[in-house]
Amino acid sequence: MRILHIIDHLGCGGAQVIVRAICENDPNTYSYALRKDKNNLTVQSAKAFQRDTRSRLDIKSLFELRKIIRDNKIDALHCHLAKSFLMGWLLKALYFKDIKLIFHEHGRIFTNQRLYNKMLNFMQHKVDLFIAVSEATKRKLVNNAGVAEDKIKVLYNFVDLDKFKIPKGFNRQKERAKLGIKKGEFVIGFVGRLAKQKGCEYLIRALPYLKFKFKAVIAGDGLDRKKLEELTQKLQIKENIIFLGYV
């Protein structure tokens, strides 16, 4: 089966990492990003396509995708994130009535956006399968968007353990010094997109209660970064927090 993964963009985020890993390890998989992003991931695959624009509204993507599907005899569309849901739905509704359509819900359902929920509810009659990244996500799809439970399968995200191996020659003290972490300071780490549903705010609010010396290292970027930085100032723990940004 030839599967085309469609995603809004390949900027920082868990969905993007998942799509990249799938496409780099499955020879029958294609990918298409609807636009560029400032933190664009590179997919090492000849079957990875990307629309050459930063525009969030670009109807030309529809026609590029139609050509890719026809030229490569794609059997299924696996859509990630909201605009990709819309694009996949339009492709099936307008051109490819027999193609399999999969919506992969990565967490936006937790933002409780009424329009988003209504969109999922309206589109579900053409969707063959919804993938939820957790049981909680599945419940949200059922309760908030009214998606039929028998259309949803739970599939947890995978982790590439090789990326967490300590490289040879790694000098722990040297790396701590680079970040300005002093001897005796306990290190607390957070890795993820800085968005409400990721819960970084809860970590920051808990830090003032610690009774020992620490540094919290936050790796990731997102729309909530400025808000979280302001929160560290308000809580008077700015000196204890290191925002690394996208890594």
Distance CA 233, CA 238 (A): 5
149 is written with which tokens? Answer: 């439970």
3-class secondary structure, 98: coil
* Closest to 192 (Cα-Cα) out of 229, 247, 141, 233: 247
Asked if residue 36 lies in contact with residue 9, where contact means CB atoms within 8 angstroms, the answer is yes
Asked if residue 6 lies in contact with residue 34, where contact means CB atoms within 8 angstroms, the answer is yes
| Alpha helix positions (H), the chain | 14-25, 60-72, 82-94, 114-123, 135-145, 172-178, 200-206, 225-234
What was the pLDDT predicted at 56? 67
Other C-beta atoms lying within 10 Å of the C-beta of residue 99: 17
* Closest to 198 (Cα-Cα) out of 230, 165, 171, 221: 221
Residue 188 scores a pLDDT above 90: yes
Do 3-154 and 166-245 agree at the fold level?
yes
Provide mean pLDDT across the span 69-76: 96
Q: What is the pLDDT of residues 28-38, one digit of tens each?
A: 899 999 988 77
What was the pLDDT predicted at 17? 87
The overall average pLDDT reported for the chain is: 91
Q: What is the pLDDT of residues 80-128, one digit of tens each?
A: 999 999 999 999 999 999 999 999 999 888 877 899 999 999 999 999 9
CA 167 centroid distance within chain: 26
- Domain regions of the chain by residue span: 3-154, 166-245
Provide CATH code, domain 3-154.
3.40.50.2000
Is the pTM higher than 0.75? yes
Q: Kind and range of the H or E element at 129?
A: strand 129-132
Q: What is the pLDDT of residues 166-185, one digit of tens each?
A: 888 899 999 999 999 999 99
Of the chain, the end-to-end C-alpha distance in Å amounts to 34
Burial status of residue 82 (CB atoms within 10 A of its CB: 0-12, 13-18, 19 or more)? middle
Residue 55 scores a pLDDT above 70: no
What was the pLDDT predicted at 197? 81
Provide mean pLDDT across the span 35-49: 80
Q: How confident is the model at residue 161 (pLDDT cuts 50, 70, 90)?
A: confident
Q: How confident is the model at residue 43 (pLDDT cuts 50, 70, 90)?
A: confident
- Which carries the bigger pLDDT value, residue 81 or residue 40? 81
**Beta-carbon contacts of residue 128 (< 8 Å; ≥ 6 apart):** 100, 101, 102, 151
Contacts 24+ apart (CB under 8 A), 94-98: 95/66, 95/69, 96/69
Distance CA 151, CA 130 (A): 6
What was the pLDDT predicted at 25? 87
Q: How confident is the model at residue 10 (pLDDT cuts 50, 70, 90)?
A: confident
Provide mean pLDDT across the span 198-203: 94
Which of 33-59 are b and which e, b meaning 16 or more Cβ less than 10 Å from the residue's Cβ? bbbbbeeebebebebbbbbeeeeeeee
Q: Using a pLDDT cut of 70, give the percent of the chain over it.
A: 99
Residue 62 scores a pLDDT above 70: yes
Provide CATH code, domain 166-245.
3.40.50.2000
What was the pLDDT predicted at 73? 96
Q: Using a pLDDT cut of 90, give the percent of the chain over it.
A: 65
